[in-house]
C-alpha cells in the first residue's frame, strides 16, 4: 500500500521496521530519545523500544562511534545519529581508523554492521557547521560505504537495507529535503527492493546526462523540466551510492548523450565530481562531445546563511553548465 510520507517520516518508519526486524539493532545519538532527534527522525522510537535500544548518549561524537564499535564486537548493530554534518569530525578518527579498518585488520573475523546517519548539506538558513557536505572524506576511505537518499521511497528502503548490511555505511540524509513528500510502498518486501548500491535513472532523456545525489537530485530534476520546455531532454541519474559508485548506467547514458554535468553541493576541488569526470572520461572518451562539467559549491568554507543561495548550485547554474556542454 502506498502512503504519502515526507523523507523524514519515511526514515522514521524505516528505522522502526529495522528495530522490529532485529533485536540487536540499537539507535544511539544525542537527543534521539524523548526529543526524537533535532529533526525528529527518531520520533517515538524510544517510547516504543525503550531506553536500552534507543539510547540518548553523552554529547561526544567520538564516544558515540567508539562505543558503537565495542557494541558491534559484542554482536549489536548500532545505528548512530550524528546531529549535523559539521559535528562528525570529532568522530572522524574512530570512523576512519577503527570502523573502516576493523574488518580488514581482523581478516574478516570482526564485522562492523554499523550505520552512521548524518543529515548533510545546506539550504536551511543555519549558522556555521550546520550545512556541510563531507561525503568525499568518507568516500575516500577504504572500508566505508557511503549512500545518500533523495526520495521518501528511497529513504524508507535504503535505511532498512543499510541497517541490514554487514558493511559499515555512512548514510547521508538531505536535510533540506526532509519535509518533501512522496509515495512510499510501506508494505513492500525488502527482498525485492531496488539494490542499495545501485544508481538509478530518475528521469530519462537524450541530450545531456546530469548526475546528482541527495539534495541535488531535486535541483537536477527541476532543471530538466525547465530544459524540456526549451526542447532539451536531460537524463537525470540519481547516484544513490557514493562509495562504491555504480557507474555502468552512467557510462551507458553518457555514450548515448555525449554530454555530462555533475552536480553536488560539496566544493569541487578533489570532490566526487572529479572522480566521476575521470572515470567517465576513461570509459566514454570517444563518445564525449564536451568535457564533463561540474556544478558545485565553491572552494570556500560554507558561507553565512544569507549567502547560501548564491553558494549552492541551483536550477540556473545547472542549465548554464548544460548550455556550456553545447559550446565545445
- Interface residue list for another protein (CB under 8 A): 52, 57-58, 60, 62-63, 65-76, 90, 93-94, 97-98, 101, 103-111, 113, 142-143, 145, 165-167, 243-246
302-to-34, 85, 171 alpha-carbon distances in Å:
31, 12, 21
Phi/psi for 225 (5° steps) reads -65, -40
Q: Quote the least distance from Cβ 92 to another protein, whole Å.
A: 12
Instruction: Identify the active-site residue in 130, 140, 197, 264.
Output: 130
Please identify, using beta-carbon distances, which residue of 250 and 293 lies nearer to another protein: 250
Would the CA dihedral through 17, 20, 26, 31 be positive or negative? Answer: positive
In the complex with another protein, which residue's Cβ is closer, 65 or 262? Answer: 65
Residue 279 has phi, psi (to 5 degrees) of -65, -40
CA distances from 87 to 84, 122, 133, 268 (A): 5, 14, 11, 21
Of 78 and 182, the one with the shorter C-beta distance to another protein is 78
What CA–CA distances, in Å, run from 56 to 45, 63, 295? 12, 12, 39
Nearest by Cα to 288 from 208, 201, 202, 204: 208
- For the bound state, the minimum distance from the C-beta of residue 174 to another protein, rounded and expressed in Å, comes to 24
Of 66 and 303, the one with the shorter C-beta distance to another protein is 66
With beta carbons less than 8 A apart as the criterion, state whether 47 and 78 touch: no
CB 167 to another protein: min, Å: 5
The residues pairing with 119 across neighbouring beta strands, listed in sequence order, are 173
Minimum CB separation from another protein for residue 60, in Å?
A: 5
Tell me the closest approach of the beta carbon of residue 151 to another protein, in angstroms. 24
Q: Please say if 130 is a catalytic residue.
A: yes
Of 166 and 310, which CB lies nearer to another protein in the complex structure? Answer: 166
Residue 214, Ramachandran bin (φ over 0: left; ψ between -120 and 50: alpha; else beta):
left
Do residues 211 and 234 lie in contact, with contact meaning Cβ atoms separated by under 8 Å? no
Q: Are strands 241-243 and 145-148 parallel, antiparallel or unpaired?
A: antiparallel
Active-site residues, by number, are: 130
Amino acid at each position: 500500500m502506498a502512503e504519502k510520507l515526507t523523507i523524514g517520516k519515511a526514515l522514521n518508519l524505516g528505522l522502526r521496521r529495522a528495530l522490529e526486524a532485529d533485536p540487536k539493532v540499537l539507535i544511539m545519538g544525542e537527543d534521539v530519545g524523548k526529543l526524537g532527534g533535532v529533526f525528529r527522525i527518531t520520533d517515538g522510537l524510544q517510547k516504543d523500544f525503550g531506553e536500552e535500544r534507543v539510547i540518548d548518549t553523552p554529547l561526544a561524537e567520538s564516544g558515540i562511534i567508539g562505543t558503537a564499535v565495542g557494541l558491534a564486537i559484542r554482536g549489536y548493530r548500532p545505528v548512530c545519529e550524528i546531529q549535523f554534518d559539521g559535528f562528525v569530525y570529532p568522530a572522524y578518527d574512530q570512523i576512519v581508523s577503527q570502523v573502516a579498518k576493523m574488518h580488514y585488520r581482523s581478516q574478516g573475523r570482526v564485522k562492523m554492521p554499523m550505520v552512521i546517519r548524518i543529515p548533510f548539506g545546506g539550504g536551511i538558513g543555519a549558522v556555521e557547521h550546520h550545512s556541510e557536505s563531507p561525503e568525499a572524506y568518507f568516500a575516500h576511505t577504504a572500508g566505508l560505504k557511503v549512500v545518500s537518499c533523495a526520495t521518501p521511497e528511497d529513504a524508507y528502503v535504503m535505511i532498512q537495507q543499510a541497517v541490514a548490511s554487514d558493511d559499515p555505511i555512512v548514510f547521508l540524509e538531505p536535510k533540506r529535503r526532509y519535509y518533501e513528500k512522496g509515495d512510499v510502498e510501506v508494505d513492500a518486501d525488502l527482498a525485492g527492493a531496488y539494490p542499495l548500491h545501485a544508481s538509478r535513472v530518475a528521469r530519462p532523456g537524450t541530450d545531456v546526462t546530469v548526475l546528482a545525489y541527495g539534495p541535488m537530485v531535486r535541483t537536477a530534476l527541476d532543471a530538466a523540466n525547465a530544459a524540456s520546455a526549451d526542447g532539451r531532454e536531460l537524463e537525470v541519474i540519481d547516484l544513490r551510492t557514493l562509495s562504491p559508485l555504480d557507474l555502468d548506467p552512467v557510462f551507458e547514458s553518457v555514450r548515448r548523450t555525449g554530454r555530462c554535468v555533475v552536480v553536488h553541493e560539496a566544493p569541487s576541488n578533489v570532490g566526487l565530481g572529479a572522480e566521476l569526470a575521470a572515470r567517465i572520461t576513461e570509459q566514454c572518451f570517444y563518445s564525449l562531445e564536451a568535457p564533463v562539467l561540474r556544478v558545485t559549491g565553491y572552494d570556500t568554507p560554507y558561507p553565512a546563511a544569507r549567502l547560501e543561495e548564491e553558494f549552492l548550485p541551483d536550477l540556473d547554474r545547472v542549465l548554464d553548465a548544460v548550455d556550456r556542454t553545447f559550446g565545445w
